[in-house]
Every structure is written in C-alpha cells, then in structure tokens.
Structure 1
Amino acid sequence: MQTTAAHGSWPSPVTAALAAADDGRPDGLGTVGDEVWWTAPRPTEGGRRTLVRRRADGTEETVLPPPWNVRSRVVEYGGRPWAAVERPGTGPLLVFCHFPDQRLYAHEPDAGPGAEPRPLTPVSPVGGGLRWADPVLLPERGEVWCVLEEFTGPAPTDVRRVLAAVPLDGSAAEDRTAVRELSDGRHRFVTGPRISPDGRRAVWIGWDHPLMPWDGTEAVLADITPEGTFARARTVAGGPEESVPQADWDAAGRLLFSSDRTGWWNLYRAELADDGTPGPARPLCPREEEFAGPLWQTGLTWFRALETGPVAVLHGRGDAVLGILDPETGVLADASGPWTVWTPTLAVHGTRVLGVAAGPGRRHEVVELDTRTGRTRVVGSPHTDRVDPAHYPEPVVRIFTGPGGREIHAHVHPPRNPAFTGPEGELPPYVIRAHGGPTGHFPLALDLETAYFTSRGIGVADVDYGGSTGYGRAYRERLRGRWGVVDVEDCAAVARALAAEGTADPARLAIRGGSAGGWTSAASLVHTDVYACGTIVYPVLDLKGWATDETHDFESRYLDGLVGPLDEVPERYEERSPIEHVDRITAPFLLLQGLDDVICPPVQAERFLARVAGRGVPHAALFFPGEGHGFRAADTMIRALEAELSLYARVFGFDRPDVPALELRT
C-alpha cells in the first residue's frame, strides 16, 4: 500500500551522506603478476584516491594509507597515476604520482614495517611545477618512462610536455637534469609510450592547439635505440581531421590503433616491415559504433590485445560494453552479465580481461572475464545494495526530436519510491541535467545522486545534447561553433516534450549541470523561459575570460571549435556569455563552486554574482575551500546535494524540513 504525498516531499533512505559515500568509481586498473590493482575514491578521507590490490587469494588491501593521494594533475584532468611490476622474492615495485606535490614516488609495499615511499622527481618552483602521468616501469633499464608536464612560467599556458625517463635510483629527486627527455617536443600534448613486445619501438599520441584530441591527433612511432633513446619519430596515423585516441600493440608486434576516419571510432591494425614502416591499416570490425572515446586523460584504454590473439574491445552507441574480437574474422562476442557501461580502463593477464563496469542497478565494480570459459565475475569493489533497490530509478532510454527534426538522445528517470505515490492529477517536477565536457555523455549507470531525487518524487532527465560522444563524429560536431545554442535548444526540447506528453509538470522544471553543464544551465536561464529554477555547478560563465587566461592549457583553445576563434567572432563571445546578460535571468538559481578550481575558476562565479546582486532574482551561492573541479570530499557533496534539494523545495512548493533551508538573497 502506497501513501499519497506531494512529489518532492517523499521520505527516502537514500540520504545525501549515502550518495556522497558512494561517489566515484574504481579507475586506473592494472595487473601486477597475478594480482589486480586499481585506484579507489575515499570521499570520507578528504576526497583522496588510494591504491587497492587484490591478491591472488582474493583478499583486498589498501596499498597506501592516508595522506597518500594517488592522482596526477597532467592537463589538470590527470592521467594514469601509477605502475608496478612483480619481483619474485621481494614483492612488487610501485611508482605513483602523489597529488599534493605531483612528485613521482617509488614504494615497495612488501618491504615490511616502516617502508615508506621515496621521491624520484624534484619539486619545481616555476608555475605549476613538474607533473607526471602514464608511467611505464622498466626495471631492466633502471627507469620509469612517462609523460612529463613542465611549467616554464607563471601563466597556465606556460607549459611544455614531453616523454621522459626518470631514474629509479632517486638520483633525480633533487636534480631535474637527471631526467632524460625521450621525445622531441614536436607536440604540445602527448600520451605515455606503449612499447612493442620486442622492445624495439614505442608508439604514443600527440596533438597541438587549437585542436582537442577528439578533433585531430597523430599516432607517433619511434625506434628505441640500444641506449634507450628514441629515433626516427614519425606519424603513422591520424591528422588534423582524424582523431586517434589510442595506439598499442598486439602480441605479434603489429600496431593497433583506434581512429574516426570513417566518422566512427573503429579499430585498425597495421603490419610493420623490418625497418618499422607500417603497411596499410586494416579495419578489424568496421561498424557504425564507437570503439573508443574522448581522450580527456592520458592512459585511457578502450582495447587490449591478449597474448592468444583476440582483442578485448569496448564498443557501442552511447555507452560501451566489453567484447572479445577475433581480428582475423571480425567476429565480436560480448561479455555476459548485468553490466551495460564499461569505462576505458582495461587490463589483460593471460586469458583474463579485467575492467570496470556498471549498470542501471549496479554501481561501478571491478569485473573479470575469463575468455576460455566466457565466465564473468566481480573481483573487486563489489556492488552492495545499501537500501532497497526499489528506491533506485528505472531509467528509460529515449530519443527526442529537436529543432530541424534532429535526434536528441536522453535517459529519463521517473520518480520511484515503493512506499509513496503522488496525488492524483499532480505531475512531478523534473530536473533536466546537462553533462560536462561538453564532449562527453551520461552513462546509464546507477547513480545515488539521481536516486536521491527520484526517490523523493522528483524526476530527472539526462540529456546527451548535440555534441555528446557515443553517437559518431557527426553528432559530436553538431556543437562546432554552436556551443550555447545547440546544447541549450536540445535540453529545452527535452523539457518541453516531457511537459507536453504529461510526464513532467511544465511549471516545475529545473535545469542543472556542472562544468560545461554549468555553462548550459546558466545559458538556459538567460536564453529560455522553460525553467522555474536552475543549479549551476563550477561553470563557465564568461567566454572571453575563459578564452584568454582564466582556464588551464588543455582547454585554453577549446572555444576555437565550440564557438569560433575570438579574434574572428568576438560578437559570439559576448552574445552567448551568461555574464553579459544577467538582466535576462528571472528564475531563482543556486551556484556551487570550488575555491581551488583552476579549470572553471571562482573569479568567474564571483563576477557573475556581483552583476546579479540587487536585480531582484532570488539566488544562493556556496563556495567550498579545498575543492577543485569536481567535488571529492563527502562533507562538500552532502552540503551541495542538500542545498540543491532545498532550492527545489522552495521553488516547486513542497516541504523538506529534513535538509537545511537554503537562504536566497536578491
């Protein structure tokens, strides 16, 4: 028997504290001998990331206790932060990047009590210092090869990136000159090297401003000399209009790479002659599906070759699933199980494939596929239902129609609570969510932040607006030159459609997003009258500022593609920037901002609020010390989530005495 109560007022066991504790996912997966290792979030420990190992007997343990934080800041979004090798008799040797100082450290976790990590790299006082990512351990050379990001001045764009060799003996811990540079610096951005099975060659990805890695990249191949230097570096795939997000090797020494040369990221293989010259690249499974994704971090892996010949691949439309590809026949067999979302962090060991996967009713967990038997099992970070799953949302995959008849992909999460239903004739409020990126998409995976709202009677619609990934290059490029137009239109089209079909209350619609989604939320309040309120989280608000010196180097030329070069279309920057049109905002809003954010800095939020003040628009703003781009500490996430619910209670007219009242000022 269900109790009738106003939408939004339903009691729920999905608390903000529970949602915060469940935030984040395993990442950086790898194998060390027969063990499986990964990084894991610790929201209740200040938001640090630790390193977890699963021993061969199935036991799990934390490798690094507080305050160690295994996370890189290369391109600010980071990259793979660790590597380890098995050493019979002495235990593994680990190299990792520590977030606070960004130094590389070596550690021997089995060395006994008192064993502490020792630094391998120095601290630089220049700008953002020295940063490292995507390490490859080479004990036989006494080095670790990785990406070096080195700041050369105080500005965020005073930076260079090369592949470098760091000695394992600690001789570079106080001496930058002891670090050997491997690549020639021809590209502004590089990923870590992937070394051929015979050790003779290395391949990596490089690209330059103003391109983003989903616009155009190059796969660079170099010979490795006996002295451990790179020779004859040459481009073997990619270009200014072809994105190659990953390149690697199969067990026979053939080059594998993903490319969107056909409009879809597919997988290719090329034979190499004795002199290293690649032959024609052959597509291994040509489909109108994505076999890769946007390269937001170095070290992402959408495919891994097994020693026995098959290739483990992630593929699909929207979300990616795990499949095993026979490269000789093109036959692709998907792994069984309840997982519909696999993240780009694959590892292989013998006949086993390991990945991180989730589904609509399961959070992200570490999953193993035995390719001999086809059997899958959870081997780490197992999902547990902390509340009755009847409180989880049941998402519906939808395709809506936007302006000009264009398709808009979305996931709709109706209100759901086993004990409550809304009054007869009352339509629920809905929150329309815009994802970040904007080159990204919403995964169809269990998210307790979504359940926090749906279990209280508030619907949620996640919109993969034009520009999102997972649907081919043409869909991705709908946003080219039209950021702040297509994204705003597509979110509004979904909101209007839900209202028109009787799913959502047209008078109680909200817009919500973080980062690029925060931009879309603010722009939606400026350019449409669809929403009764909005939640704007660490947003871009001033395009001109963001295009000059108010963001980091990686995205400092992003707007060339999303809006157009500033010197060519300055009027677009003014017309589309929410900060230039605060007079058009009439709906209440909540702004959430981390004070340590260098990607979407607080100065933009502060200027925006200064212009809004005194205009009669009810609003609130919460600034969080110690938080950067993406909240990580449990206390922050709890406060932010409860504040968002309080905003909706105030605007939509339901009672929530269980959360602190949000004070709105005008």
Structure 2
Amino acid sequence: MARIVSPYGTWPSPVDAALVAAHDGKPEYPGAVGEELWWTEPRPGEGGRRALMRRKADGGPARAALPAPWNVRNRVLEYGGHPWAGVPRPAGGPLIVFTHAGDQRMYAFEPDAPGGPSPVPLTPVGTVGDGLRWCDLRVLPGRGVVWAVLEESTGPGPADVRRVPVAVPLDGSAAGDRSAVVELTDDRHRFVTGPRISPDGRRAVWLAWDHPRMPWDGTELKIAAVTPEGLPADVRTLAGGPGEAIAQAEWAADGSLLVVTDRSGWWNLHRIDPETGEAVNLCPREEEFADALWKIGTRWFAPLPDGLVAVTHGQGSLRLGILDPVTCELTDAPGPWTEWAPALAVQDTRITGVAGGPERGWEVVQLDTATGHTLVVGAGHRDPVAPAYCSPPAERVFAGPGGREVFARVYPPCHPERTAPDGELPPYVVWAHGGPTGRFAAVWSLETAFLTSRGIGVVTVDYGGSTGYGRAYRERLRGQWGVVDVEDCAAVARALVAEGAADPARLAIRGGSAGGWTAAASLVSEAAGDLYACAAISYPVLDLAGWTAGSTHDFESHYLETLIGPPEEVPGRGAERSPVNRADRVRAPFVLLQGLEDAICPPEQCERFLAAVAGRGVPHACLTFEGEGHGFRRAETIERALQAELALYAQTFGLERNDVPHLDLRP
C-alpha cells in the first residue's frame, strides 16, 4: 500500500501521551530470596508508587507483594538507594524488609503469614529536618539484624546530615527507640555504602568518599575485621583515593575480594589482596564495567558460586557477560538485550537482571550459565503499538569542536503509512541527558516514539562528560559545564543539518535536571547562537548560586567544584554561566516543567528565571505540578508534560494538528 504524503510533524500517531505515561519507568532492584525472585516496578497510575514484586519458585507470574499505598522506595541522596532485602526461612516463607516512601521508615513483613502480610516498622520516625532514611539493606538472620546505610538529618538545612553504616534489630525494638540502632562505624566520612561481609564472616568492606568529590571522582575502599559481637573493628583504607573511583566491591565465594575501579582510565574488574591492597586487572579492556554511582546499592557485577563472575561491560551501552577470572575469557549472554541495568542477582548458575534493547523495553531477564539459555521472568515487553511506529536508533560518532568525538543516537521520523513531501526536511529535537555525569540507554522507548511517529526526529547526545566512554571522556566536563555540553549538542544538530537530515529552521532542544541546564544554557550561549527554535526544559538547574551547599541537597552540593571549578579559584564563573543571569539573550520560545516538591532543583530556580525573562517579548509557559519531586512519577503529570512539550513544537514549528492542546505561550 502506498504511503500517504503529509508534512513532517503532522502524521497521526497511536502513541499518545496517556500511553507513554502508562508505560513510564522500569523494573529495578531484582534480588534472589532462596528460589524466589523479587524486584520493584513502577506504578504511574497508582500515584507513581513502586510496587514490590514477587515471583515464587513455581515459576508462575509475578505479583505485587503489597497493595497500594505501600511504596517501596527511599530518598537517600534524594535519588534513592536499594530499598529492600529478604532471606528464605525453613518454615513460614521468606522474611522481607523494605523502606516505605511515605514515611521513610524500614519495615519487615512475612508475605506468607496467616491473614496476609502486615508490615511491622523496624525504625523510628525522624523528628529533625528530613528525618531518618535507610537504604542498601542486608538481612543477617543469624544475628537478628539488618545492616544498612542510615542517612540522618541533624538540623533543618539540607547540609545538616550524616551517613553511617548501622545494624537495625529485626525484633522491632528500634521502632520507637533511635538508640537501639547500632552504628557500625563513626561518621568521619560524608558518604558510605553498605558493608559487605566476607564468606567466613570475619571481614567487611564498603566504600566511602567526602566532599567535594563525587563518587565517580574518587572513593576509598574500607576494610575492617568483624568482631564476635558483629561490629567492624580496625577500619583502614585498602585502596582508592581522590583520583581513583571504585564503584563496587564484593566478596567472591572463595573469599577473594573483587572491585570495579577506574585506575586504568576505564572501570575494569580487579581482584584486590585484602592484606596489601595489591590489585590485578582481571579483564583489561578499554570498556566500562561500571557506571556512575548515583544510587547506593547499585550492582554492576555479581560473583557466582562456581568462581565465574557476571559482569556488565561495554562502550556506550553495558551488555551482560560471564567472566572467567582465571583465563580472562569473557562470554556475552545471548539474546536481543543490548543494555543491562546495574542490578544483578545470582541463584546458583542463574543470573537475573533488568535488560532491554532498541526493540525491547526494560524487562526482568534470567540467564542460566549452565545451559546458556535466557528467558524473560518478569515485566515482559509487550508492543503497545506496532513496532513500525518505533524508530530504531542509528549509533553515530560526530565531530565536535577541535575534532573531538561526540557520541549520539539518531532516531529519524518513522511511520508505516506516512511519508513527507519530496524535498521537505524533518524537524529534530536534541535530547540532553541528566546528571550531567550520566548517559542515554539505547532501549526501546515510547517517549521517543511519541515524537518520531508524528514525523519529528530525535537525537540523544552523550556529550563530553558522559559516562560509558572512559574517564578521560567523563572529565571533559571538568570546569566546562555549560560549555562542552552545549557545544557538543550544537555540533550534533549542525551536523544533521549539514547532512540534509534535519530542517535548520525547526530544531529544538530538551532536557531534564542537568539536561534542563544544558537546554537553558543553549538558549543563552554564543556557541549555540540562534540554532534552536524552541526548548523544553524540565526541573532544571538555572542558577548556580542556588545549587550549592544549603541551597540544594547534600549529595550534589559540592558538584560544581568539578563542573565549574573551585569558587575561590574561578570567582564569578558560575554567575557568568547561569542562564538566570543571561536571560537577556533568550530569544526562542520555551516551556518550563517543574515539580513543586523538588529538593534537588528547587522551584525557586524557575521562578527567578521567569522573572528575569519577563517583559522581554519571549513567548514562554511554565507548568508546575503539586506532589512531584525531581523527575515525574505520576501518570497524569507525565501526560500533561508531554502534551505541553508537543504543543510547544507544534506552535513553534507551525505544525497543523488537531490532537494537541493549546499551550498558552506568553511574552
């Protein structure tokens, strides 16, 4: 059948905003509890809660273990950390502990208890500042405790906080008594991960770091003896430091200590001698075996009982491989999953993780190393629309300023029944990711198809500073935030124009969080000039003076010392680059989308930017959302935000559509 000819951007699409919202998010935190598998899943239609899923040993379908409003999530570092743990028991079913987003307390429950599960609190309600938060839980049943990381507010400000590894009694005695929580170490370090105990129970290791470093700048590997009373003693630094980022540490079944460190310039897997700290690279490659540690409890590798190690590795994307640490042989898992999230669980020869690919959304996948077979065990991908509406990406390397490499993925307009008139070029939207120390995952996305199926191209840019391409690429952004990211996105957009792939008059840029900064900075930067016709800016950083200690959350409160430079060395640089101080350069229409409970990029940032733009004749709109924080979770919010973004493109690009609500763009 011949395709209907109609202009780019006007094509009808079955991918509406409600459909995108209903499929937002991905499974997280898979774990093995005996022969059972557990993980969390998003529920956008249930207020954005995270449901705790259970797949029993009989292999039946996974079901939510707790009804709404139970929300298995926490706010440690504001981005959250591993929120649950469990152990099998000889009788009565497993014991599960988890953190609940509603009050940030830790709870225990028995899913097979007579009468149904009834969670019991294990920790008290915090009464100071943001209270008590817990993550990276480990149940030690023989000792009757849960080891975890405690994030404790000590005052009203975001910087009034301490973090320490703790032991929480399983008997509930700490539910009303903070003093019953045993601190395993002192709080000399600002940030810590949860301790990992050696197979013989005699040693424990964890990671620590301090301001102004972020965990991808440098961390320390701590090791301690474990006393008969179950407390770490004789704590010392075994490896790491300001210029070495250790992302994860685990004990293998034979008692050897494995870590992922970037001491070679790439995050590679090493074996470290627990006595001397001497390290051996088990698979030297110019590939990453880890990524940025944004959430405590992240797991990029997992030792197997037989001595093999499940690893994620690659450049740009992380695929699953099985590494033989003796021969250095690395064998990749079969199947269409080209991207594996850092969330691996092991049951004998079986490895379970969260994986996806260009033609498959995120799903829970299991590989059996004994047979080589893989199968989907939960949250299986289903095509809500015909695949022909979803544009496959083209992996590209573009030339940035000075010829530097810029990695990107191009998603051209895609429709099985429509084509554009001869000679017409499509509009394109440049996507800048958050972080900024992060990257895009090449996984099937309805959010991308929302635009490409309508005839609007998308290009996702892993600009300099992104993870996935080694430490040198990651450090391109040192002192250059608002410069390198802006230049790289602009270089990609101009290259698409030069190739005849994109309409130079219909380019847009969009991003959230740090990507929102890049989008806004692009509107005021000489490097981008008048390249973009409009911008969609979500929960952004707009004023660096309001993104420092005391103004944003503690985790990122010193991030600017690497992204911009130490303030005593480069005074005024932050103010010079902040979009709020360059609002006189904004000429393109834009929409701001902001959650009113955002502790990372507070709404005041948007308010100051809007005040600076007011009266300058620039059409713009701002939508705010009650009950939303940093990143949108509720279906109704996601739907409204997407509609507003599409309306901005339609009105700016002159697209004639009857399915787009009007967006009131006022000067």
TM-score tier, shorter chain, comes to over 0.9
Query: Which residue number corresponds to residue 367 of structure 1?
Result: 365
Equivalent positions of 1:183-262 (< 5 A) are 183-262=185-264
The alignment partner of 2:143 has SS state of coil
| TM-score under structure 2 length normalisation | 0.98
Partner deviation per Cα, 1:366-415 (whole Å, 9 max, x = no partner): 11111011111111110011110000111100000010110000000000
Partner deviation per Cα, 1:265-320 (whole Å, 9 max, x = no partner): 00001244xxxx24521110010000111000000011100001100000000010
Is the Cα contact below 8 Å between 1:189 and 1:206 reproduced in 2?
A: yes
Pairwise CA distance, 1:571? 1.7
Alpha-carbon separation, structure 1, partners of 2:153 and 2:348: 40
Partner deviation per Cα, 1:532-555 (whole Å, 9 max, x = no partner): 000010000001111242210000
Is the Cα contact below 8 Å between 2:98 and 2:106 reproduced in 1?
A: yes
Query: Which residue number corresponds to residue 96 of structure 1?
Result: 98
Which residue of the other structure, out of 332, 342, 354, is the alignment partner of 1:356?
354
Equivalent positions of 1:411-450 (< 5 A) are 411-450=409-448
Pairwise CA distance, 1:89? 1.7
Query: Which residue number corresponds to residue 44 of structure 2?
Result: 43
Alpha-carbon separation, structure 2, partners of 1:26 and 1:53: 12
Alpha-carbon separation, structure 2, partners of 1:218 and 1:391: 47
Alpha-carbon separation, structure 2, partners of 1:83 and 1:662: 45
Question: Is 1:391 matched with 2:389?
Answer: yes
Alpha-carbon separation, structure 2, partners of 1:257 and 1:499: 44
Query: Which residue number corresponds to residue 485 of structure 1?
Result: 483
Alpha-carbon separation, structure 2, partners of 1:74 and 1:318: 27
Q: Which amino acid aligns with 1:359?
A: G
Pairwise CA distance, 1:488? 0.3
Query: Which residue number corresponds to residue 57 of structure 1?
Result: 58
Partner deviation per Cα, 1:557-612 (whole Å, 9 max, x = no partner): 00000001223322211110000011100000010000000000101001111111
Query: Which residue number corresponds to residue 315 of structure 1?
Result: 313
Alpha-carbon separation, structure 1, partners of 2:592 and 2:210: 33
Greater shift, 329-338 or 50-59, is seen at: 50-59
Query: Which residue number corresponds to residue 472 of structure 1?
Result: 470
Is the Cα contact below 8 Å between 2:400 and 2:491 reproduced in 1?
A: yes
Query: Which residue number corresponds to residue 628 of structure 1?
Result: 629
The alignment partner of 1:579 has SS state of helix
Is the Cα contact below 8 Å between 2:159 and 2:549 reproduced in 1?
A: no
The alignment partner of 2:245 has SS state of coil
Which residue of the other structure, out of 338, 344, 347, is the alignment partner of 2:336?
338
Query: Which residue number corresponds to residue 517 of structure 2?
Result: 519
Query: Which residue number corresponds to residue 453 of structure 2?
Result: 455
Equivalent positions of 1:261-340 (< 5 A) are 261-272=263-274, 277-278=275-276, 280-340=278-338
Question: Is 1:2 matched with 2:7?
Answer: no
Pairwise CA distance, 1:455? 0.3
Pairwise CA distance, 1:186? 2.1
Q: Which amino acid aligns with 2:252?
A: D
Alpha-carbon separation, structure 1, partners of 2:272 and 2:491: 44
Pairwise CA distance, 1:112? 2.4
The alignment partner of 1:573 has SS state of helix
The alignment partner of 1:344 has SS state of coil
Is the Cα contact below 8 Å between 2:238 and 2:277 reproduced in 1?
A: no
Question: Is 1:567 matched with 2:565?
Answer: no
Alpha-carbon separation, structure 2, partners of 1:523 and 1:95: 43
Query: Which residue number corresponds to residue 32 of structure 1?
Result: 33
Is the Cα contact below 8 Å between 2:391 and 2:413 reproduced in 1?
A: yes
Is the Cα contact below 8 Å between 1:515 and 1:538 reproduced in 2?
A: yes
The alignment partner of 2:591 has SS state of strand
Q: Which amino acid aligns with 1:255?
A: L
Q: 1:337 to 1:114 in 2, by over 3 A?
A: closer
Partner deviation per Cα, 1:438-493 (whole Å, 9 max, x = no partner): 00001110110000000000000000000000000000000000000000000000
Alpha-carbon separation, structure 2, partners of 1:659 and 1:48: 28
Alpha-carbon separation, structure 2, partners of 1:96 and 1:378: 25
Is the Cα contact below 8 Å between 1:364 and 1:383 reproduced in 2?
A: yes
Pairwise CA distance, 1:11? 0.5
Alpha-carbon separation, structure 1, partners of 2:120 and 2:600: 30
Equivalent positions of 1:612-627 (< 5 A) are 612-627=613-628
Query: Which residue number corresponds to residue 532 of structure 2?
Result: 531
Alpha-carbon separation, structure 1, partners of 2:135 and 2:411: 37
Deviant stretches of 4+, over 6 Å: none
Question: Is 1:169 matched with 2:167?
Answer: no
Is the Cα contact below 8 Å between 1:547 and 1:566 reproduced in 2?
A: no
Equivalent positions of 1:76-91 (< 5 A) are 76-91=78-93
Partner deviation per Cα, 1:60-101 (whole Å, 9 max, x = no partner): 111111000000111111110000111122111111000021
Alpha-carbon separation, structure 2, partners of 1:312 and 1:97: 27
Alpha-carbon separation, structure 1, partners of 2:143 and 2:23: 41
Equivalent positions of 1:598-609 (< 5 A) are 598-609=599-610
Alpha-carbon separation, structure 2, partners of 1:566 and 1:661: 43
The alignment partner of 1:444 has SS state of coil
The alignment partner of 2:353 has SS state of strand
Q: Which amino acid aligns with 2:122?
A: L
CA RMSD for the aligned pairs?
Answer: 0.8
Is the Cα contact below 8 Å between 1:430 and 1:510 reproduced in 2?
A: yes
The alignment partner of 2:572 has SS state of helix
Alpha-carbon separation, structure 1, partners of 2:59 and 2:426: 46
Query: Which residue number corresponds to residue 580 of structure 2?
Result: 579
Query: Which residue number corresponds to residue 644 of structure 1?
Result: 645
Pairwise CA distance, 1:114? 4.8
Pairwise CA distance, 1:29? 0.8
Alpha-carbon separation, structure 2, partners of 1:565 and 1:394: 42
Identity %: 66
Alpha-carbon separation, structure 2, partners of 1:292 and 1:250: 18
Alpha-carbon separation, structure 1, partners of 2:475 and 2:602: 26
Alpha-carbon separation, structure 2, partners of 1:643 and 1:112: 49
Alpha-carbon separation, structure 1, partners of 2:116 and 2:177: 26
Q: What stretches of structure 1 of length at least 5 have no aligned partner?
A: none
Alpha-carbon separation, structure 1, partners of 2:646 and 2:618: 19
Is the Cα contact below 8 Å between 1:81 and 1:133 reproduced in 2?
A: yes
| TM-score under structure 1 length normalisation | 0.99
Is the Cα contact below 8 Å between 2:519 and 2:535 reproduced in 1?
A: yes
Q: Which amino acid aligns with 1:101?
A: D
Q: Which amino acid aligns with 1:602?
A: P
Is the Cα contact below 8 Å between 2:239 and 2:277 reproduced in 1?
A: no
Question: Is 1:382 matched with 2:384?
Answer: no
Q: Which amino acid aligns with 1:387?
A: V
Q: Which amino acid aligns with 2:578?
A: S
Q: 1:114 to 1:287 in 2, by over 3 A?
A: closer
Q: Which amino acid aligns with 1:244?
A: I
Alpha-carbon separation, structure 1, partners of 2:463 and 2:116: 52
Pairwise CA distance, 1:337? 0.3
The alignment partner of 1:140 has SS state of helix
Alpha-carbon separation, structure 1, partners of 2:403 and 2:560: 26
Q: Which amino acid aligns with 2:238?
A: V
Query: Which residue number corresponds to residue 159 of structure 1?
Result: 161
Partner deviation per Cα, 1:32-87 (whole Å, 9 max, x = no partner): 11011100000000000010011112221111110000001111111100001111
Q: What stretches of structure 2 of length at least 5 have no aligned partner?
A: none
Query: Which residue number corresponds to residue 558 of structure 1?
Result: 559
Alpha-carbon separation, structure 2, partners of 1:422 and 1:157: 54
Alpha-carbon separation, structure 2, partners of 1:58 and 1:382: 14
Question: Is 1:149 matched with 2:147?
Answer: no
Is the Cα contact below 8 Å between 1:544 and 1:566 reproduced in 2?
A: no
Greater shift, 185-194 or 427-436, is seen at: 185-194
The alignment partner of 1:489 has SS state of helix
Alpha-carbon separation, structure 2, partners of 1:76 and 1:96: 17
Pairwise CA distance, 1:424? 1.1
Is the Cα contact below 8 Å between 1:195 and 1:203 reproduced in 2?
A: yes
Q: 1:279 to 1:551 in 2, by over 3 A?
A: closer
Alpha-carbon separation, structure 2, partners of 1:112 and 1:45: 27
Greater shift, 110-119 or 167-176, is seen at: 110-119
Q: Which amino acid aligns with 2:180?
A: A
